[in-house]
């Protein structure tokens, strides 16, 4: 047995919103793990070996076997450690949660592109992201404390970048995607999510996120100018 008692290792990046999905899941379950910080600008051979297809974090290694893609990892964690269930039990509810999980993954990309871009491209991404936010507000969070109901679940982790990362992206991109007046249920959930004891103790420092987001935006616009 190497590392922690459960032989669980997580390769991630401090500022990654999708990496945090996995960290939150492990912490909610109370699973001990070894955390390995990856330099995404100078990837380790270990990462390239463990995730040769995408070469991205997060990667979970359980008993020497790697798993990539944050939401797939969260699902694996949920099936491996039964305490604090994250996905619903009923097949239809599970399918719905997975469906909205794919929406969360698409929306995180659209919002990130909106921060990085400007002009027409930014306008298009902001519009697209807002429309999806309207659907989330109306269809899945209204009247609930968490996406999972009374307890934090899979979709709370999937959308977990909205309360903390998105406001920074909105600031750096000088744009607005969540409108507190229109997206009341999402805004209330933002507060519920960030007040949860496990979540609030597992967030990256805001100052580092600001610096990093500005850097990504600058790199993005210089790529476009080339
Ligand atoms: N869909 C993937 C996204 C993973 C991802 O984009 N990871 C970023 C960090 S936030 C990364 O490793 N970037 C390095 C790169 O793109 O080269 C997941 O949910 O795990
Ligand atoms: C990249 O990482 C390797 C080790 O994985 C290290 O030896 C090297 O100095 C790093 N390069 C930079 C530019 O940080």
**Predicted local distance difference test score (pLDDT) of residue 221:** 79
Residue pair 169/111 in contact by the 8 Å Cβ criterion: yes
Q: What is the pLDDT of residues 151-174, one digit of tens each?
A: 999 999 999 999 999 999 999 999
Q: What is the pLDDT of residues 84-125, one digit of tens each?
A: 999 999 999 999 999 999 999 999 999 999 999 999 999 999
Q: Which of 57, 80, 103 is the last residue of a domain?
A: 80
Residues 214 and 114 reside in one and the same domain: yes
Is any ligand 2 atom within 6 A of the Cβ of residue 223?
A: no
Residues 41 and 115 reside in one and the same domain: no
The pTM (predicted TM-score) of the whole model is 0.95
- Nearest atom in ligand 1 to 57's CA: 12
Is any ligand 1 atom within 6 A of the Cβ of residue 190?
A: no
Q: Which of 33, 57, 80 is the last residue of a domain?
A: 80
Residues 132 and 220 reside in one and the same domain: yes
User: Could you list the residue range(s) of the whole structural domain that residue 221 is in?
Assistant: 91-225
Q: What is the DSSP string of 32-92?
A: --EEEE--TTS--HHHHHH-TTT--S-EEEETTEEEESHHHHHHHHHHH--SS--S-SSHH
Is any ligand 2 atom within 6 A of the Cβ of residue 151?
A: no
Residue 45 CA to ligand 2 center (angstroms) comes to: 11
Residue 73 CA to ligand 1 center (angstroms) comes to: 13
Is any ligand 1 atom within 6 A of the Cβ of residue 21?
A: no
3-state class (DSSP) for residue 104: helix
Whether 185 is in a domain gets the answer yes
Nearest residue (by CA) to ligand 2, atom 6, is 42
Q: Which of 80, 109, 129 is the last residue of a domain?
A: 80
The enclosing domain of 19 has a CATH number of 3.40.30.10
Nearest residue (by CA) to ligand 1, atom 13, is 56
Is any ligand 2 atom within 6 A of the Cβ of residue 44?
A: yes
What's the number of domains the chain is made of?
Answer: 2
pLDDT category of residue 225 using cuts at 50, 70 and 90: low
pLDDT category of residue 1 using cuts at 50, 70 and 90: very low
Is any ligand 1 atom within 6 A of the Cβ of residue 40?
A: yes
Whether the predicted pLDDT of 183 surpasses 80 = yes
Q: What is the pLDDT of residues 26-68, one digit of tens each?
A: 999 999 999 999 999 999 999 999 999 999 999 999 999 999 9
- Nearest atom in ligand 2 to 42's CA: 1
Whether 3 is in a domain gets the answer no
Whether the predicted pLDDT of 2 surpasses 50 = no
Averaged confidence pLDDT in the chain: 95
Percent of the chain predicted with pLDDT > 90: 94
């Amino acid at each position: 047995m190497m590392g922690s008692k459960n032989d669980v290792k997580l390769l991630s990046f401090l500022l990654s919103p999708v990496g945090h999905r996995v960290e939150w899941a492990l912490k909610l379950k109370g699973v001990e793990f070894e955390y390995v910080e990856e330099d995404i600008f100078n990837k380790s051979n270990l990462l390239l070996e463990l995730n040769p297809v995408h070469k991205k974090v997060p990667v979970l290694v359980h008993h020497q076997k790697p798993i990539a893609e944050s939401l797939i990892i969260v699902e694996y964690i949920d099936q491996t450690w039964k305490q604090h269930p994250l996905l619903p039990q009923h097949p239809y509810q599970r399918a719905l949660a997975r469906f909205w999980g794919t929406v969360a993954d698409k929306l995180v990309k659209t919002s990130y592109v909106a921060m990085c871009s400007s002009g027409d491209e930014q306008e298009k991404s902001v519009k697209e992201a807002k429309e999806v936010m309207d659907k989330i507000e109306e269809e899945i969070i209204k009247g609930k404390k968490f996406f999972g109901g009374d307890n934090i679940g899979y979709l709370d982790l999937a959308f977990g970048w909205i309360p903390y990362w998105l406001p920074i992206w909105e600031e750096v991109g000088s744009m607005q995607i969540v409108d507190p007046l229109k997206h009341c249920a999402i805004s209330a959930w933002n507060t519920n999510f960030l007040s949860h004891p496990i979540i609030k103790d597992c967030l990256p420092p805001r100052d580092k996120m600001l610096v990093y987001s500005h850097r990504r935006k600058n790199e993005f616009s210089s790529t476009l100018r080339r």
